[in-house]
């Protein structure tokens, strides 16, 4: 029997079908199916396509799955349906025939035709999603702390990334984004895929942690010995930008307006061009960013959406995930063992991570 959460989410889909005058929708994307069943509906972590296809109609749910995945998904990932059509892993013809048959049914649409509605469902969290989000935020923050405190001079970026991935997995979290840079590469690149470079003075570690489909993002910085004054100054500036973005993340605000607040703060800190060199984050969900903040974005923030802002200045980066509440944004990626301090922006005060000094 489906969980109450899955039943509620199926009903949300049916409400959309009724509003759009459709009789059913075929779901094939990992993010949407993970949202529906709150589980792992992928094999490779980099794939967009789910390992099942789901047809949700006005009164039934049908699943198409191969014989490799069927039992695992039923036993461990919450897969239930009115009918489960199983095909051999070697028989793609049956899969394609079934999908083609579904498409010929009257009033059946693909999920791309309902993309705005499905995206909003993934972004606006229900009670179960909020509980999971809060738990995941703590787990991701804890994995970063557990990694950072064990770094030592001479550790390579690959080794640090491996530690971060292992610490995430120890909490049941997949590090689907895992970026690490030491002092040589951090000033050169914004998306710092780890290499065999040794970390000698300081490092930036960023992670996008996924559990049961939801993705939470955070970044931490660590230094060995005294932090150089120029680096500390830039980090203080990037925290001010993050504080400006968080302060603007209120229900009803448009994403482009939030971004403008961040851009203004870059200028106030003396780094007016830095926002051009890296995206600043956006609205989270079952993708690392469901909506990326760009100057043309008209998406409005709603209560129970969550955001992950990631401002950067050459060599430094700040990033946390926060939920939008009736009182404003609330940071979720918090671990009390990592050093933090208040950062004030206008009438708001944010407790943000500092550079961990080892």
Predicted confidence (pLDDT) per residue in 127-138, tens digit: 999 999 999 999
pTM for this structure?
A: 0.95
For residues 98 and 140, state if they share a domain: no
- Supply the pLDDT for residue 45: 83
Q: Three-state SS across the chain?
A: CCCHHHHHHHHHHHHHHHHHCCCEEEEEEHHHHHHHHCCCCCCCCCCCEEEEEEEEECCCEEEEEECCCHHHHHHHCCCCCCEEEEECCCCHHHHHHHHHHHHHCCCEEEHHHHHHHHHHHHHCCCHHHHHHHHHHHHHHHHHHHHHHCCCCCCCEHHHHHHHHHHHHHHCCCEEEEEEEEECCCCCCCCCCCCCCCECCCEEEEEEEEEECCEEEEEEEEEECCCCCHHHHHHHHHHHHHHHHHHHHCCCCCEHHHHHHHHHHHHHHCCCCCHHHHCCCEEECCCCCCCEECCCCCCCECCCCCEEEECCEECCEECEEEEEEECCEEEECCCCCCCCEEEEEECCEEEEEECCEEC
For residues 265 and 150, state if they share a domain: yes
For residues 77 and 155, state if they share a domain: no
For 281-340, the pLDDT digits (tens) are 999 999 999 999 999 999 999 999 999 999 999 999 999 999 999 999 999 999 999 999
Last residue of a domain, one of 106, 123, 140: 123
Q: Residue 203 belongs to a domain with what CATH number?
A: 3.90.230.10
Last residue of a domain, one of 67, 97, 123: 123
Total domains in the chain come to 2
- Supply the pLDDT for residue 309: 98
For residues 137 and 98, state if they share a domain: no
Domain that holds residue 66: 4-123
- Supply the pLDDT for residue 3: 85
N-term to C-term CA, the chain: 51
Identify the burial level of 18 via C-beta atoms within 10 angstroms of its C-beta, where 0-12 means exposed, 13-18 middle and 19 or more buried.
exposed
Q: Residue 112 belongs to a domain with what CATH number?
A: 3.40.350.10
pLDDT value at 217 more than 80: yes
Last residue of a domain, one of 68, 102, 123: 123
- Supply the pLDDT for residue 47: 84
For residues 104 and 150, state if they share a domain: no
- Supply the pLDDT for residue 46: 79
pLDDT value at 203 more than 70: yes
For residues 268 and 307, state if they share a domain: yes
For 249-262, the pLDDT digits (tens) are 999 999 999 999 99
For residues 195 and 133, state if they share a domain: yes
For residues 208 and 274, state if they share a domain: yes
pLDDT value at 1 more than 80: no
For residues 231 and 339, state if they share a domain: yes
For residues 164 and 95, state if they share a domain: no
For 19-37, the pLDDT digits (tens) are 999 999 999 999 999 999 9
The whole-chain average pLDDT of the chain stands at: 96
For residues 152 and 73, state if they share a domain: no
For residues 237 and 316, state if they share a domain: yes
- Supply the pLDDT for residue 2: 65
């Amino acid at each position: 029997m489906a969980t109450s959460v899955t039943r509620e989410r199926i009903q949300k889909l049916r409400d959309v079908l009724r509003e759009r005058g459709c009789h059913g929708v075929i779901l094939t994307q990992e993010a949407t199916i993970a949202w529906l069943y709150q589980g792992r509906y992928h094999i490779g972590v980099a794939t967009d396509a789910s390992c099942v296809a789901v047809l949700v109609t006005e009164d039934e749910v049908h699943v198409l799955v191969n014989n490799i995945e069927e039992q695992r998904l039923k036993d461990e990932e919450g897969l239930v349906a009115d009918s489960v059509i199983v095909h051999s892993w070697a028989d793609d013809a049956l899969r394609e025939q079934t999908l083609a048959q579904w498409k010929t049914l009257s009033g059946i649409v693909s999920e791309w035709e309902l993309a705005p509605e499905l995206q909003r469902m993934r972004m606006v969290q229900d009670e179960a999603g909020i509980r999971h989000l809060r738990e995941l935020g703590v787990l991701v923050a804890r994995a970063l702390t557990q990694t950072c405190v064990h770094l030592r001079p001479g550790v390579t970026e690959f080794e640090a990334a491996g530690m971060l991935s292992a610490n995430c997995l120890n909490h049941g979290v997949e590090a689907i984004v895992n970026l690490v840079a030491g002092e040589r590469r951090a000033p050169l690149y914004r998306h710092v895929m780890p290499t065999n470079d040794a970390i000698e003075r300081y490092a930036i570690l960023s992670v996008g942690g996924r559990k049961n489909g939801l993705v939470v993002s955070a970044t931490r910085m660590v230094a060995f010995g005294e932090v150089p004054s120029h680096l500390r100054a830039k980090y203080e500036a990037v925290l001010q930008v993050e504080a400006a973005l968080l302060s603007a993340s209120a229900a009803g605000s448009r994403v482009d307006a939030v971004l403008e607040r961040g851009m203004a703060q870059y200028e106030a800190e003396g780094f007016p061009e830095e926002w051009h060199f890296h995206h600043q984050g956006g609205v989270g969900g079952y993708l690392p960013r469901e909506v990326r903040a760009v100057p043309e974005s008209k998406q409005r923030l709603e209560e129970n959406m969550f955001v992950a802002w990631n401002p950067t200045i050459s060599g430094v980066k700040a990033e946390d995930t926060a939920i939008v509440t009736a009182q404003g944004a609330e940071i979720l990626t918090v671990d009390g063992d990592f050093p933090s301090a208040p950062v004030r922006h206008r009438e708001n005060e944010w407790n943000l991570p500092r550079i961990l000094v080892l």
